[in-house]
Amino acid sequence: MNKKILLVAAHTDDEALGCGGTIAKHVAQGDSVYAVFLADGVTSRPEASNVELEERNAAAAKAHQILGIKHTYMLGFPDNRMDNIPLLDIVQKLESVLNEVQPQVIYTHHNGDLNVDHRITHQAVLTACRPVPGASVKEIYAFEVLSSTEWYTPGVAPFIPNVFVDISAYLETKLKALEAYKQEMRNEPHARSIMNSKRQSEGRGASVGTKAAEAFTLIRIIK
């Protein structure tokens, strides 16, 4: 039976960096993939404009077409200021998406990321996805995002993957999605470069005997 997958991320581009290959693999296997983004990803920047937001949303639409995402939800919380929003307000908006999509599997941020929006997104997911009777969500996985997961305080909530998805056949699709976000990517040797994302995928793959992989921490699985 095909599954409904929901990606819950703070910002557009997090999905391609963290699990772009896995998304493409789900789609190829016949699963329906949805995405919800909590923050706008732009308004924290000096002199941010509506034009910049429109450009980022257009890049996201292109990336999602490449990855095969069926539908995207934008919740519009202020970028890098989600710690000023009551968690209940965030959870309630996320719950409305969960009620509509009824996903079985969720991918979201690691709780030890440097970016505050990432950490709050993780907390909102676990709050909205409490394992109550009748809940649709059976699996929750946390992904890593370059220039955030590895930049947090050493030893504090480290990312320790225990699930690896072979994306050997989907690495090029992931990289094409990142190309769509070229304005958000950086030149080498910045951590968030396309080449470094390729190296990360190849390194994760080599650690488990495949050409390329994406790594996750299993948060919960109900069999």
Question: What are the structural domains, with CATH classification, of the chain?
Answer: 4-221 (3.40.50.10320)
d(C-alpha 73, C-alpha 61), whole Å = 11
- Percent of the chain past pLDDT 90, that is, above it, reads 91
115: exposed, middle or buried (Cβ count in 10 Å: 0-12, 13-18, 19+): buried
What is the value of pTM for the model shown? 0.96
pLDDT at 43 (0 to 100): 76
**For residue 55, pLDDT beyond 80:** yes
pLDDT digits (tens, 9 = 90+) for 80-106: 999 999 999 999 999 999 999 999 999
pLDDT digits (tens, 9 = 90+) for 19-54: 999 999 999 999 999 999 999 877 777 776 777 878
pLDDT at 79 (0 to 100): 92
- CA 187 → CA 3, 15, 82, 102, 152, distances in Å? 37, 20, 28, 39, 21
pLDDT at 192 (0 to 100): 96
